[in-house]
Amino acid sequence: MSGPLLEVVDVAKRFSVGTRFSRQGVRIVHALDGVSLTVMPGETLGLVGESGCGKSTLGRCITRLYDLTAGTLRFAGTDISSLSQRQMRPMRRRIQMVFQDPYASLNPRRRVRDLIAEPLRVHTKMSEAEISRRVAELLDIVGLKPDHAMRFPHEFSGGQRQRIGIARAIALNPELIVLDEPVSALDVSVQAQIVNLLADLQERLNLTYIFIAHDLSVVRQVSTRIAVMYLGSIVEMGSADDIFSRPAHPYTQALISAVPVPDLAAQGSAKRIVLSGDVPSPVNPPSGCRFHTRCPIAQERCRVDRPALTDCGPGRRVACHFPTDVVHTA
Amino acid sequence: MIFSLIQRVAQMLFVMFGISVLVFLIFFATPGADPAARIAGRNASPEILEAVRKSFGFDQPIYVQYLTMMKKIFVTGDLTSFVNRGWKVVPAVMDTIPVTLSLVIGAAVLWVVFALLIGIAAAATRGTWVDKTLMMLGLIGISMPVYWLGEVMNLLSQSRYHDTWLFSWVPPLGYKNFSDDPKGWFLTLVIPWITLSILYIGLYGRVLRAAIVESLQEDYIRTARAKGLSETRILLRHALRTSLVAFVTLFGLDFGALVGGSALLTEVVFGLQGVGKLTYDALLNLDLPIIMTTVLYASFFVVAANAVVDILYMLLDPRVRTA
Amino acid sequence: MLKVRDLSVAFRTEQGMVQAVDHVSFDVGEGELLGVVGESGSGKTVSLLAVMGLITDPNAVITGSIQYRGRELVGLKPRDMRALRGKEIAMIFQDPMTALTPVYTIGWQIAEQVLAHQKMSKAAAWQRAIDLLAEVNIPNPQEAVHRYPHQLSGGMRQRVVIAMALSCNPALLVADEPTTALDVTVQAQILDLLRKLRRNHGSAIVFITHDMGVMAEIADRMLVMYAGRVVERGKKEELFLAPLHPYTRALLDSIPPLTGVKPKRLRAIPGTPPNLLNRPPGCAFAPRCIERFEKCSAEPALGSGNHTAACFHVSA
């Protein structure tokens, strides 16, 4: 077995908001706080969490759209955490990103052909004939018709636009694609089409995905492994099946139990854990365990002592002082 | 609050310093510019030029000249005109300020009141002929140059129809002090107020209508409708209130500029000795001390008006208060 | 209590008429929770905005009949509609971030609605706002009334919107995707709150959503809408356990399961929803339907039973 495709070690990202002259002065948003994970070739790592948990920030740090505040990023063994934008360019061919809003991420004044050809023109020395051939091939791969090439983005539905975005992302045969909420803006029936398309492409093109979403059932469907995030840190990691069938962290348990299931039979059996309050502000994160302000089982220790992400079973890691014993209850 | 006040003052001082240096350099350090030659007049002999230079202090290093001028404006207040020596500049500018303030404040009251009425009326009747007529009138108001409109007003009220009941009350051109003759003050200013405000009524009416119509598309207007509120209340309490920000921004900029001397054309047409007229005359004579003083005064007003706008923002929009 | 018959809403555009809602009929009983599901463009929001009398677009053409407790609402004078709206029929909107006027405190905004419909002093209205905030579980209501919308989180703002809707004890509450913009844990809180308020107030609720999971949790009866028409109607249990219309079935199948065996592929519905501009005749779902046959080129009608679907497979 080869080594990991991507290693994220202790990555932190802080933003500052306000100026020295605003009332509260400069405030630091702790968007990411010591995140570590690895992604193996060919797998899909799902990143889930609620708004403000840092999952999108992490995706943008991995693609180096953001610079890291601290930590190391290794892609295929190469440290890319401090490469300049120029040095990153050859890497960009290998790491691509797909965004949530297919409406906003495509230039409305350019034809589909040019949108898909753009990465080819920037990164390769292909001739015009080769580029047209490749664009036709890409359209076919993502399930669009050849005559779609001459149209503009506004002539497409949301699902079709997301297909265009995917075609752009796979144009250069990347190894890793970071998908940031790729199906959140789509209707359920269309969402399933895109989920299937992504699964097909992964198999066919040997892709590795980092799949960022807030919809737990979609994440469960696409992911091999899942990392659950809360307020800038990973609280639990493990295989998709394990996380959903035996969540160890109280936050993961609450998150899963909060999802309304369209299955009347399952309704009565699961006990719902309703968390009180909102996610605290990342400007002033709580002391100790970040989750203790909403945790139903928080103890005195959780207020002061921040739990580290530790192994708690095969392939399982959890950041909690009192995790549910996943090995023995299983 | 105190902090932002200090910040404001610092900003104002910085702007005033920058502008004064710029004006000074344009006057003295532009290649080929020799203030002595200008003061001495054409074909002056070298001896006279030399004398002028010495008597005005132009032989000193430029920064000394600058500092001397600043000292005379702000500390001793005895800066004198280059053209009319002995004429003290600071009191001269002080004399013109009430004239300009009277003109601009009166016009501002008119234009705010009428622009609000027009903007609200047009937004309330949007799409109908009332709206279209009001907007067309606004456009006409914007398009009429103030010097032309002023001359027409003068022609009608001072000569052509002066003897009719309509304009017989109009006094001759000129300014009367409020403290000496309140009624005269008011009467002499009525026509200039109307003339100056027409452009702004048109402009502000159109801006306000656009802002209200835009905010009527917002989600919270739908919420207000769902609450069962009357259309009038929705328009005045919800849509208008959130539309005033654009209005206030524009007002701050325009008011500051007008008080700072931009009402020049109106002042000239109606023979009002205001700041604009003073600056204009000084520019004709290239009378640096006066230009310098009025420019500093103008920049003070522009920055001060902006500070007032910021405070109004805080009152209008709670989001600014905590940001 | 609410009887909607053959409601149609069309919008005149430069390209022609857009038939957003097409002959929709449904009833809402006292104290009942009717769920309306459908994807974007299915006409679910537009039809309920029509019930609220909130379609202000001058290019909209509304026909049909909407009867609220025996009173016809279509063509009602704006003044009479206003007296009803906010008092007897109230609405909760999708995006709590933009649903409140940014320049007033939340107490002011709640009191405003109370005063618009009830004769009471300002102080009493203010006290009512505090009580309502307490009822929707906003911590520290005494202090919270003085807050501005931007100082609250999305979940808190949605509670304020709900408090406002409840301020006059409405008999009918229309909730348009009230939890869609919220995080799951907050959504769970809001759904809990709505259940509690339903018990306490006994209002009938029409709940619009695209989320079948949310429906399964709270609805009594459901309507499934597609392309401006009702394609299936029935009790929640009937709809989930024995869906009649191929679209309802396909919709349920396309949702990835949260438990149990993970399917290799999701059963997606091919194609995209139809364009509502100059739509072709016949069943609107036919082009995407795996069960279509010759008859589907005609327009299927919704049966009259309690559980019924507009499909020739069912009515045939």
C203, with CB counted inside 10 A (0-12, 13-18, 19+), is buried
For chain B, which chains pass the contact test of at least 3 CB pairs under 8 Å? A, C
Q: Which of A217, A224, A219, A163 is nearest to A190 (CA)?
A: A163
Q: How far is A98 from chain C (nearest CA, A)?
A: 21
Q: What does the pLDDT look like over C171-219, one tens digit per residue?
A: 999 999 999 888 888 899 999 999 988 888 889 999 999 999 999 989 9
Mean pLDDT of B21-47: 74
Contacts of A22 in chain B (CB under 8 A): 323
Both tokens of C120, joined, read 């009471």
Contacts of B317 in chain C (CB under 8 A): 102-103
Cβ–Cβ gap C85/B228 under 8 Å? yes
Cβ–Cβ gap A188/C254 under 8 Å? yes
Mean pLDDT of C255-279: 85
Find how far residue A228's CA is from the centre of its chain.
10
Residues of C at the B interface, defined by Cβ within 8 angstroms? 52, 54, 56, 58, 78, 82-87, 90-91, 93, 95, 98-103, 105, 112-113, 116-117, 148, 150-151, 161, 164-165
Q: How far is A52 from chain B (nearest CA, A)?
A: 19
Contacts of C105 in chain B (CB under 8 A): 318
Mutate to test the interface with C, among B227, B229, B241, B319 (most CBs of C within 10 A): B227
Euclidean distance between CA atoms A19 and A27, whole angstroms: 8
pLDDT above 50: residue B323: no
pLDDT confidence band for A327 (50 / 70 / 90): low
Contact C33, C219 (CB under 8 A): yes
Strand, coil or helix: B309:
helix
Q: How far is C134 from chain A (nearest CA, A)?
A: 14
pLDDT above 80: residue C294: yes
Contact C163, C128 (CB under 8 A): no
For A:19-78, CB contacts with B below 8 A are 21-23
Q: Output the CA torsion sign for A41, A44, A48, A51.
A: positive
B161, with CB counted inside 10 A (0-12, 13-18, 19+), is middle
Cβ–Cβ gap C191/A255 under 8 Å? no
Q: Is some CB atom of chain C closer than 8 A to the CB atom of B224?
A: yes
Q: Which of C278, C302, C298 is nearest to C286 (CA)?
A: C298
Output the CA torsion C252→C253→C255→C257 (10° steps). 110
User: Which of B224, B228, B322 comes nearest C101 by C-beta?
Assistant: B224
Mutate to test the interface with B, among A22, A27, A283 (most CBs of B within 10 A): A22
Q: Is some CB atom of chain C closer than 8 A to the CB atom of B218?
A: yes
Mean pLDDT of C134-138: 92
Q: How many CB pairs under 8 A join A and B?
A: 6
Least confident of A117-131, B66-80, B238-252: B66-80
Euclidean distance between CA atoms A273 and C189, whole angstroms: 10
Q: Is some CB atom of chain C closer than 8 A to the CB atom of B86?
A: no
What pLDDT does residue B45 have? 79
Contacts of A23 in chain B (CB under 8 A): 322-323
Q: What does the pLDDT look like over B144-190, one tens digit per residue?
A: 998 899 989 888 888 788 888 878 888 888 888 888 888 889 988 99
Chain B residue nearest residue C118, CA to CA: B228
What pLDDT does residue B33 have? 63
Cβ–Cβ gap A214/C250 under 8 Å? no
Cβ–Cβ gap B7/A22 under 8 Å? no
User: Which of A220, A258, A267 comes nearest C216 by C-beta?
Assistant: A267
Give the HSE-up count for residue C105: Cα atoms under 13 Å, Cβ half-sphere.
15
pLDDT confidence band for A330 (50 / 70 / 90): very low
Q: What is the DSSP string of A133-154?
A: HHHHHHHHHTT--GGGGGS-GG
Q: How far is B322 from chain A (nearest CA, A)?
A: 8
Q: Is some CB atom of chain B closer than 8 A to the CB atom of A125?
A: no
Other CB atoms within 10 Å distance of the CB of residue B319: 15
Cβ–Cβ gap C256/A258 under 8 Å? no
pTM reported for the whole predicted model: 0.86
Euclidean distance between CA atoms C109 and C103, whole angstroms: 10
Chain C residue nearest residue A200, CA to CA: C265
Per the model's pLDDT, the better-predicted residue between B33 and B244 turns out to be: B244
Cβ–Cβ gap B323/A22 under 8 Å? yes
Q: What does the pLDDT look like over B205-264, one tens digit per residue?
A: 999 999 999 999 999 999 999 999 999 999 999 999 889 888 888 898 899 888 887 788
Q: Which of C6, C2, C5 is nearest to C69 (CA)?
A: C2
Q: How far is B295 from chain C (nearest CA, A)?
A: 38
For chain C, which chains pass the contact test of at least 3 CB pairs under 8 Å? A, B
Other CB atoms within 10 Å distance of the CB of residue B99: 21
Q: How far is B116 from chain C (nearest CA, A)?
A: 19
Mean pLDDT of B55-59: 77
Mean pLDDT of B18-39: 76
